[in-house]
């Protein structure tokens, strides 16, 4: 038991979970409604999209690379899929998802192509494709918003699907959204890939030492290509969840908010920006903390403008902390060597 | 059919006009312990890469187990049982011991799914083959260099290695760790696995090798049984010239002269205790001891990188307070760190910029702008003075060999015209000829009136190049030798290792 606790406190995730518990405690003290099923389920539903993006971003970070184009992929997938449905006067959710995922695959493979073929720095490539994808969307697909009246019923209905309901405090039952179900499927699949496939171990190996991974026989290019495609698919799915959540589509949404939120979540979750280290659990806790913080700033008496400040602060402090931690560990090692 | 595992016959390879290897032949018997020695640029690395199938030779053939290849691919070499352990070990620092040992095999078998039980079994088997015990779950970055090597060797074993090539495996190891590595190599031999050991350190070559192949300028000088060689002979074979340093004898007039540097009872908790010595101009004071004996720690304190808890430092008779490297430089103390690659040089900057970086201030005109002509002149004069081999002062420092990089770093500190120059492990990892030049340079500096401290774990080096030697052991001065040239290596070794043999893991 003691060893178990000791092991527990070695993990970044434990501290993150404690912070969330304390924060939730404070919020419950201020507003007892915070701990209600209604609020918790709604919080989970609202953060599913961000969480799915964060899973993709984690994979990229694990290899020591970066992809900043995913918000542009997500909004492109959403907007192109929905306008196509409207234009065809179709009410098929399956078609919408097929288009969104197709766009994700296409855009992901464009990223993958430039990254693997020309060995370009991934930040520059994806900064470029971010603008390409978004610019293409505005120029060739449209700039107008899609309001609730135009939105196909299938998409609106999709946003209201619950996997199960529990009795709420009032007379209305509280639903557990399908969004969270989709997130759970994504998490299970990704966990399986990372933990139990050679592809997943290859992702960690590349993050540890790309040259060593090559020498060990991993096909580094193929793995990188896979990751960018995977990020594309997840972004496509997120795009559809987003429009079904707010019942409103605007080609300038997602690109305006998700990039830093996702980066902050993953960094806060303990992923090393230089690659090789990071976990799904940490990432999910990171998302949870960021979203809770954003949604409740007003409740603790701060204006919502603080949100932007906090997200920025978290990125800087988070990166500094992991860096300092790594440095401390290496100095500790030196002292150990010396004292022997 | 001979009893050789590997026969490389008249291998030639040229890179853009430079003949890296010229008709070199190398035979390695089954289970043999074979050393490949040669200076930097003698073709050792190219030969290793050809054996491993990473580089294709222009001519010649490689025969493994009697099967001849004129065009070896890396995968052929691996299938035939050749494993190369590069200096960087190619491990994954973020993954566990078990995974690091087993992943290569998993990838080679083209498994899609990770079987963790299998991963652990493969790792445990490989470790037990060489009687090693490691925590399979430990993350590799937390291991010492020696244990990382054990992981790399175990990984090689999972690939059915018949020949393990180790490229400079001892450069980052302590003496005890080297002994341990040698015992592992002997265990490999018992299993019939041959080792090709590539090293600069001649004393290690004699200790481990059964036979030695010497390369010089891409040509094979010859194969020799290790028992027929000694230090001088091998040095001669490697360099083609005799290198016999005259002992450095210099006796300062301690009666009248003020010491340039004096340490009085310097102590720092957990590092060193009651360190007192005097250093006069013209002297080369050697300090030797094990890693952790305090030899480097004292130097760091003298240079202001750490602060002693108590004691005094005197420069030319007056007590000074040195708490930052900047102050140390002001008092004329310079320090050349042990790890030249990471601490002493800007790899991507030009050689010239590296040399003048410490004295850039001198080239500013009254407007604070850089006077390029003076800067260039200074760069050129240092390159010439220390005979740094480079086509251009504008070439990046990374283009230089280890020995030449070392000279750039020396030049950089000499440019500040120090009174006291502390060199920590000045010749670590460089070949015999470069070593000689550096020793020569150090001597010239001392003769020109500089006071020098040379820290080294090679006892032979301090005995031959210093006029006085201090031996450190567990943070204290364990002995002092006034005429090092008359002292035997064993005598010093005893002091160095006294009471420590059981402690160092």
Q: Give the gap in angstroms from C-alpha B114 to the nearest C-alpha of chain A.
A: 5
pLDDT higher than 90, residue B286: yes
DSSP result, B444-474 = HHHHTT-EEEEE-S-HHHHHHH-SEEEEEET
Q: Give the gap in angstroms from C-alpha A70 to the nearest C-alpha of chain B.
A: 27
Cβ contacts of A204 on chain B, cutoff 8 Å: 92, 94-95
Task: Tell me how crowded residue B215 is: count the other CB atoms within 10 A of its CB.
Answer: 25
Cβ contacts of B104 on chain A, cutoff 8 Å: 216-217
The larger pLDDT score, comparing residue B322 to residue A333, is at B322
Ranges A198-207, B93-102, B473-482: which has the least confidence: B473-482
pTM of the model: 0.76
- Mean pLDDT in chain B? 87
In chain B, the percentage of residues whose pLDDT exceeds 90 is 40
Q: Which among A195, A198, A205 is the nearest to B92, CB-wise?
A: A205
Q: Which among B93, B99, B503 is the nearest to A340, CB-wise?
A: B503
Question: pLDDT digit string (tens) for A302-315?
Answer: 777 787 888 888 88
Q: Write the burial class of residue A152 (CB in 10 Å: 0-12 exposed, 13-18 middle, 19+ buried).
A: buried
Cβ contacts of B475 on chain A, cutoff 8 Å: none
pLDDT higher than 70, residue B416: yes
Question: Is B89 in contact with B148 (CB distance < 8 Å)?
Answer: yes
pLDDT higher than 60, residue A332: no
| Cα distance between residue B155 and residue B101, in whole Å | 4
Binned at pLDDT 50, 70 and 90, residue A6 comes out as: low
pLDDT higher than 50, residue B436: yes
Question: Is B155 in contact with B97 (CB distance < 8 Å)?
Answer: no
Strand partners, B67: B64
**DSSP H helices in B140-294:** 145-158, 175-190, 202-208, 231-239
Question: Is A47 in contact with A288 (CB distance < 8 Å)?
Answer: yes
**Mutation target among B73, B104, B107 for the A interface, most CBs of A within 10 A:** B107
| Cα distance between residue B91 and residue B103, in whole Å | 10
Q: Which among B90, B94, B112 is the nearest to A215, CB-wise?
A: B90
Mark yes or no for CB contact A205/B111 under 8 Å.
Answer: no
pLDDT higher than 70, residue A338: no
Q: Which long-range contacts (CB under 8 A, 24 or more apart) does B175-179 make?
A: B175/B290, B175/B457, B175/B497, B176/B504, B176/B505, B177/B144, B177/B145, B177/B146, B178/B204
Nearest-5° Cα angle at A288, A282 to A294: 135
Supply the pLDDT for residue A7. Answer: 67
Q: Give the gap in angstroms from C-alpha A233 to the nearest C-alpha of chain B.
A: 22
| Cα distance between residue A278 and residue A262, in whole Å | 14
Supply the pLDDT for residue B244. Answer: 65
Supply the pLDDT for residue B387. Answer: 77
Cα dist from B489 to B456, B459, B492, whole Å: 13, 6, 5
| Cα distance between residue B73 and residue B471, in whole Å | 50
In chain A, the percentage of residues whose pLDDT exceeds 90 is 65
Mark yes or no for CB contact A205/B113 under 8 Å.
Answer: no
Binned at pLDDT 50, 70 and 90, residue B243 comes out as: low
SS3 B175: helix
Question: pLDDT digit string (tens) for B357-375?
Answer: 878 888 888 888 888 888 8
| Cα distance between residue B140 and residue A12, in whole Å | 19
Task: Tell me how crowded residue B226 is: count the other CB atoms within 10 A of its CB.
Answer: 18
Supply the pLDDT for residue B457. Answer: 84
The number of C-beta contacts closer than 8 angstroms across A and B is 69
**Chain A residues touching chain B at CB-CB below 8 Å:** 195-202, 204-205, 207-209, 211-213, 215-218, 276-277, 333, 337-340
Q: Give the gap in angstroms from C-alpha B93 to the nearest C-alpha of chain A.
A: 6
Q: Give the gap in angstroms from C-alpha A305 to the nearest C-alpha of chain B.
A: 39
Average pLDDT (A100-108) is 98
| Cα distance between residue B135 and residue B117, in whole Å | 15
pLDDT higher than 80, residue B40: no
Question: pLDDT digit string (tens) for B134-155?
Answer: 999 999 998 988 899 999 999 9
- Catalogue the E-assigned strands of B30-180: 33-37, 59-64, 67-69, 82-85, 163-167
Question: Is A73 in contact with A104 (CB distance < 8 Å)?
Answer: yes
Task: Tell me how crowded residue A151 is: count the other CB atoms within 10 A of its CB.
Answer: 19
Mark yes or no for CB contact A208/B94 under 8 Å.
Answer: yes
Supply the pLDDT for residue B502. Answer: 44
Question: Is B393 in contact with B387 (CB distance < 8 Å)?
Answer: no
| Cα distance between residue B243 and residue B237, in whole Å | 11
Mark yes or no for CB contact B99/A200 under 8 Å.
Answer: no
Question: pLDDT digit string (tens) for A172-204?
Answer: 788 999 999 999 999 999 999 999 999 999 999
pLDDT higher than 80, residue A330: no
| Cα distance between residue B367 and residue B124, in whole Å | 68
The larger pLDDT score, comparing residue B160 to residue A241, is at A241
Question: Is B87 in contact with B168 (CB distance < 8 Å)?
Answer: yes
CA atoms within 13 A on the CB side of B13: 27
Average pLDDT (B456-467) is 88
Supply the pLDDT for residue B499. Answer: 76
pLDDT higher than 60, residue B484: yes
Q: Which distant-in-sequence residues (6+ apart) come within 8 Å of A325 by Cβ?
A: none
Q: Could you tell me which of A235, A218, A201, A11 has the C-alpha nearest to residue A105? A: A235
Supply the pLDDT for residue B1. Answer: 46
Supply the pLDDT for residue A129. Answer: 97
Question: pLDDT digit string (tens) for A21-38?
Answer: 998 998 899 888 888 888
Cβ contacts of B90 on chain A, cutoff 8 Å: 209, 211-212, 215-216
The larger pLDDT score, comparing residue B428 to residue B115, is at B115
Q: Which two tokens stand for residue B108?
A: 């080679």
Question: Is B451 in contact with B282 (CB distance < 8 Å)?
Answer: yes
Cβ contacts of B94 on chain A, cutoff 8 Å: 204, 207-208, 276-277
| Cα distance between residue A70 and residue A130, in whole Å | 7
């Amino acid at each position: 038991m003691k060893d178990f606790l000791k092991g527990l406190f070695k993990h970044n995730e434990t501290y993150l979970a404690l912070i969330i518990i304390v924060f939730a405690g404070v919020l419950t003290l201020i507003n007892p409604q915070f701990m209600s099923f209604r609020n918790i389920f709604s919080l989970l539903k609202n953060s599913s999209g961000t969480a799915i993006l964060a899973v993709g971003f984690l994979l990229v970070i694990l290899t020591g690379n970066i992809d900043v184009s995913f918000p542009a992929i997500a909004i492109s997938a959403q907007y192109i899929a929905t306008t196509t449905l409207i234009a065809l006067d179709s009410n098929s959710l399956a078609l919408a998802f097929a288009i969104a995922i197709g766009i994700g695959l296409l855009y992901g493979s464009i990223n993958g192509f430039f990254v693997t073929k020309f060995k370009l720095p991934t930040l520059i490539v994806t900064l470029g494709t971010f603008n390409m994808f978004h610019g293409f969307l505005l120029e060739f697909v449209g700039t107008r918003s899609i309001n609730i009246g135009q939105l196909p019923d299938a998409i609106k209905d999709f946003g209201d699907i619950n996997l199960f309901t529990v009795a709420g405090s009032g007379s209305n039952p509280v639903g557990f959204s399908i969004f969270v179900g989709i997130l759970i499927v994504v998490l299970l699949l990704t966990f399986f890939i990372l933990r139990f496939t050679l592809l997943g171990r290859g992702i960690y190996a590349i993050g540890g030492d790309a040259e060593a991974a090559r020498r060990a026989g991993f096909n580094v290019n193929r793995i990188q290509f896979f990751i960018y495609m995977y990020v594309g698919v997840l972004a496509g799915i997120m795009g559809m969840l987003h429009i079904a959540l707010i019942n409103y589509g605007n080609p300038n949404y997602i690109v305006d908010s998700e990039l830093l939120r996702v980066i902050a979540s993953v960094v806060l979750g303990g992923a090393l920006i230089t690659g090789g280290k990071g976990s799904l659990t940490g990432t999910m806790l990171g998302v949870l903390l960021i979203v809770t913080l954003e949604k409740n700033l007003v409740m603790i008496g701060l204006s919502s403008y603080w949100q932007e400040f906090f997200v920025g602060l978290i990125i800087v402090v988070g990166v500094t902390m992991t860096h300092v931690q790594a440095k401390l560990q290496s100095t500790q090692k030196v002292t150990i060597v010396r004292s022997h | 059919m001979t009893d050789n595992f590997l026969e490389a016959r008249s291998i030639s390879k040229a890179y853009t006009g430079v003949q890296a290897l010229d008709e070199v032949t190398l035979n390695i018997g089954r289970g043999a312990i074979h050393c490949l020695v040669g200076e930097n640029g003698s073709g050792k690395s190219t030969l290793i890469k050809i054996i491993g199938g990473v580089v294709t030779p222009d001519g010649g053939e490689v025969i493994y187990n009697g099967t001849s290849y004129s065009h070896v691919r890396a995968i052929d070499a691996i299938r035939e049982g050749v494993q190369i352990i590069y200096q960087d070990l190619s491990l994954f620092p973020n993954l566990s011991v078990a995974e690091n040992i087993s992943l290569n095999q998993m990838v080679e078998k083209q498994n899609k799914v990770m079987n963790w039980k299998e991963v652990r079994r493969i790792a445990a088997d490989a470790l037990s083959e060489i009687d090693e015990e490691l925590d399979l779950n430990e993350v590799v970055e937390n291991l010492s260099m020696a244990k990382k090597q054990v992981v790399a060797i175990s990984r090689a074993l999972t690939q059915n290695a018949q020949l393990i090539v180790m490229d400079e495996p001892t450069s980052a190891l302590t003496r005890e760790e080297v002994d341990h590595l040698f015992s592992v190599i002997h265990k490999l031999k018992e299993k019939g696995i041959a080792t090709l050991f590539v090293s600069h350190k001649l004393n290690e070559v004699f200790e481990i090798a059964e036979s030695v192949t010497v390369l010089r300028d891409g040509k094979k000088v010859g194969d020799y049984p290790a028992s027929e060689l000694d230090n001088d002979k091998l040095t001669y074979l490697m360099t083609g010239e005799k290198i016999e340093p005259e002992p450095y004898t210099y006796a300062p007039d301690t009666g009248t002269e003020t010491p340039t540097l004096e340490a009085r009872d310097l102590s720092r908790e957990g590092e060193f205790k009651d360190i007192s010595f005097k250093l006069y101009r013209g002297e080369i004071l050697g300090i030797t001891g094990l890693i952790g004996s305090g030899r480097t720690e004292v130097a760091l304190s003298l240079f202001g990188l750490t602060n002693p808890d108590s004691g005094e430092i005197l420069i030319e008779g007056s007590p000074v307070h040195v708490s930052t490297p900047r102050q140390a430089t002001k008092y004329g103390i310079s320090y050349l760190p042990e790890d030249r690659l990471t601490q002493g040089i800007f790899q991507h900057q030009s050689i010239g910029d590296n040399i003048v970086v410490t004295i850039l201030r001198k080239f500013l005109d009254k407007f604070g702008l850089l006077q390029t002509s003076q800067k260039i002149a200074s760069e050129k004069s240092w390159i010439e003075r220390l005979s740094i081999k480079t086509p251009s002062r504008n070439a990046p420092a990374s283009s230089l060999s280890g020995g030449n990089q070392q000279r750039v770093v020396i030049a950089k500190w000499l440019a500040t015209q120090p009174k006291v120059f502390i060199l920590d492990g000045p010749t670590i990892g460089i070949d015999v000829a470069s070593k000689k030049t550096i020793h020569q340079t150090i001597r010239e500096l001392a003769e020109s009136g500089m006071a020098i401290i040379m820290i080294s774990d090679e006892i032979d080096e301090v005995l031959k190049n210093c006029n006085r030697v201090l031996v450190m052991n567990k943070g204290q001065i364990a002995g002092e030798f006034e005429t090092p040239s008359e002292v035997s290596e064993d005598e010093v070794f005893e002091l160095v290792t006294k009471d420590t043999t059981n402690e160092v893991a």
